[in-house]
Structure 1
Amino acid sequence: MALAAQGDTWGVPGPTFLLIYLGAVVAVAVVAAVHRRALFAGTRGAHVDTLGPQQLAYLNGGDRLAVYASLGGLRGAGAVGSAPDKTLWQSGPMPSGVTPLDTAVYNAAGRRIRAREVLTDQWVRSALDQLRAGLEANGLAVTAGRLQTARLWVIAGLALVLLGIARLLAGLANGKPVVFLVFALVFAVIVTVKLWQSTRWATGVALKGMAELRRRHDYLAPRQSPSYATYGAAGAAMGVALFGAASLYTMDPAFAEEAEIQRINASGVATSSGSSCSSGSSCSSGSSCSSGSSCGGGGGCGGGGGCGG
């Protein structure tokens, strides 16, 4: 026993290290998810019922989906069209009751801009900034500052990844089996990447309200095959806002194809805030390898606790 203890990497048995390491990774994921939930809660009592399609589209998919909602409305009103060379053009007069974003997109079409370059137009960018600022002020959109604060958890994830790599190298140098440590390290990398990649536009309050709007406007979902003739320009814009650009392909596939509209879905609900790997039961599958029965026994991973290096 004494010789085995002296041979442990860093003086810590493999199963013990695995248990502590996996526990730390799960703890970071869980605490980060709770912190993000608080950061992204939004203003209590805020409502989305009075928002226009472009505002809803931003909350569902950011700037790009907001522009697509504008294009859907303008196309439904016969104001813009697309050409075989992938450019937009003004196919009719500006409709009444337009938003600043509609005006900017319509004017961009007058310059025969490519649809996928509309987002780079300075007037479109200005209109999007104005739209975003209003949503943020009402507690419906997540601010850039809060996203940056949430991503600070990446530092904790990176620290755990580096610790795992150091243990892996030390275990290999010490001649210890490290198979289960590799799995634990992969898990830590996945959690860290999720913490960094998560993008979110809508606050929790907004997400809840939009879920209700989707139920209320289910007839605009792509699976229902909505048409311009039935629901008009307003319906087209709302369909894109709530269900993504797939709605535009359903209503006007030729225009969507020529305008190079990306087949993106409304992603506010599906965007992870780190919660997908925050439950110990679903993400810590490596825990079965940190128990004394499967890793610390004499037959499994190299005798006296070599599973974790």
Structure 2
Amino acid sequence: MNILAAPGDTWGIPGPLFLKLYLMVAVVAVVGTLLHRRRTTAGPPDAAGIDQLGPQQVAYLNGGDQLAVWSALGGLRAAGAIDVRSDRRLIAAGPTPTGVTPLDHAIRNAARRPVAAGKLGRDPGVARALEQLRQGLEQHGLLIDADGVRALRRGRNLLLVLLALGVVRLVAGLVNGRPVGWLLLALAGLGLTFALIARTPRRTRSANTALRHLRSSSHHLSPDSAPAYATYGAAGAAMGVALFGTASLYALDPGFAAQAAIQRQALSSGSGSSYSGTSCGGSTSSCSGGSSSSCGGGGGGCGGGGCGG
């Protein structure tokens, strides 16, 4: 492999040398990023403890702030502790039921004003209760905390910088009339890896597995099963919303859900939601020596001007 710069070499760096260095850095970056991502998104080795989580915690895992609020509303409505006025605003009704959570209390307090269902998340008390839910789930290892999210984004951004460098080299090589075939293959592999990790997850893989298990074991709460909410009580109604979306609220009390202008939403049976899980993968390309003019056929390869632009 010719590693000495020759007249016309892009950036004064021979194509084979640039390609070798680029692939070495790319492989290290990809492997390191994927290993770190796998550790960060793993979660606890045994997530069976999720069975002890309440409906609102499950809802937060499944759909974040808004679904947790809808789940709490489902439980409060089933307990007769919340109602809706003709102007579509919620109002507290009846005595405070037993076993209420901080989020239940916050929603009941907000509804004493009263308040529109869609604006509950803006109430300071509700926001504090949701923050407590999030922190608890992070401590359980079911949600990735802010430091973990930033670390995942740094790994993703490192690959993006490498991609950008490779693309700039590719364009410069084309303008300079240099062969770039192997560099293009390397960029394709790096680009595929970046595409697979472009989305930063909030849930860990343990949480995704546990949610799938909960949906399977709680299928009787799905709206498709026409659940008897009088039998399952407020907790069952709240868990139905947590696992299967606001379609469960419509099944519980369609008049209330419609009057309160709650958006009808049915979550998929997989782990997909705004807190989707993670997938990892990717590959890189390598190049070996060959002819001086092109990448490909006969005795072709990366030689002379190289295939790295």
TM-score normalized with structure 2 length: 0.73
Q: Which among 144, 147, 150 is matched to residue 145 of structure 1?
A: 147
Contact between 2:212 and 2:270, CA under 8 Å: does it hold in 1? no
Matched with 1:11 is: 14
Where does residue 215 of structure 1 map in the other structure? Answer: 216
Query: Which structure: larger Rg?
Result: 2
Match for residue 136 of structure 1? 138
Q: Return the letter of the residue paired with 1:210.
A: L
1:110-121 to 2 correspondence within 5 Å?
A: 110-121=112-123
Secondary structure of residue in 1 paired with 2:296: coil
CA separation of 1:151 and 1:268: change in aligned 2, threshold 3 A:
farther
Structure 1 unaligned blocks of 5 or more: none
Tell me, in whole angstroms, the C-alpha distance in 1 between the residues paired with 2:254 and 2:305.
61
- The offset of 1:42, in angstroms, is 3.4
Following the alignment from structure 1 to structure 2, what is the Cα–Cα distance between the partners of residues 180 and 116?
Answer: 54
Equivalent position of 2:301 in the other structure: none
Q: Percent same amino acid at aligned positions?
A: 47
Q: For residues 138-217 of structure 1, what are the structure 2 equivalents within 5 Å?
A: 138-175=140-177, 188=190, 191-192=193-194, 195=197, 197-201=199-203, 203-217=204-218
What displacement does 1:24 show? Answer: 6.4
Q: CA deviation at 1:195?
A: 4.1
Query: Deviating runs (4+, > 6 A) in structure 1?
Result: 19-24, 177-184, 289-292, 304-308
Q: Quote the offset at 1:28 in angstroms.
A: 4.4
The one of the two structures with greater contact order (alpha-carbon pairs below 8 A, sep at least 6) is: 1
Q: Which range is displaced more, 205-214 or 99-108?
A: 205-214
Structure 2 residues not aligned, in runs of 5+: 299-303
Q: 1:261 aligns with which of 250, 260, 263?
A: 263
Q: Which amino acid aligns with 2:165?
A: L
Q: Which amino acid aligns with 1:215?
A: S
Q: Distance in 2 between matches of 1:13 and 1:147?
A: 37
What is the root-mean-square deviation of aligned Cα atoms in Å? Answer: 4.2
Structure 1 position 116, deviation (Å): 2.1
- Aligned equivalents of 1:52 and 1:151: distance in 2? 30
- Offset at residue 172 of structure 1 (A): 3.5
Report the alpha carbon displacement of residue 113 of structure 1 after superposing the two structures with TM.
1.9
Q: Which moved more, 1:122-131 or 1:81-90?
A: 81-90
Contact 1:158 1:192 (8 Å CA) reproduced: yes
Give deviations 1:156-207, integer Å, cap 9, x for gaps.
Answer: 1222122123113303322458799778757756754664531313x44444
Asked whether the 8 Å contact 2:74–2:238 carries over to 1, the reply is yes
- TM-score, normalised on structure 1? 0.73
Equivalent in the alignment of 1:297? 296
- For residues 233 and 63 of structure 1, the distance between their equivalents in structure 2, rounded to whole angstroms, comes to 20
Deviation at 1:8, TM superposition (A): 6.2
Q: 1:194 to 1:44 in 2, by over 3 A?
A: closer
Contact 1:53–1:237 (CA under 8 A) maintained in structure 2: yes
The aligned amino acid for 1:244 is G
The one-character-per-residue Cα deviations of 1:201-232 (angstroms, maximum 9, x if unpaired) are 3x444444333322211212344343534533
Q: Give per-residue Cα distances to partners, 1:120-176, cap 9 Å, x unaligned.
A: 211011112222333333444332222222222023122212212311330332245
Q: Deviations over 1:58-95 (max 9, x none)?
A: 22222222112111111222322345655322344432
Counterpart among 55, 69, 72 of residue 70 in structure 1: 72
Q: Is the 8 A contact 1:227 1:250 kept in 2?
A: no
Q: Is the 8 A contact 1:72 1:233 kept in 2?
A: yes
Q: Deviations over 1:103-124 (max 9, x none)?
A: 1112212223222221121101
Partner of 2:57: 55
Residue 267 of structure 1 and its aligned partner are, at CA, apart by 9.6
Q: How many residues align?
A: 294
Separation in 1, partners of 2:34, 2:253: 40
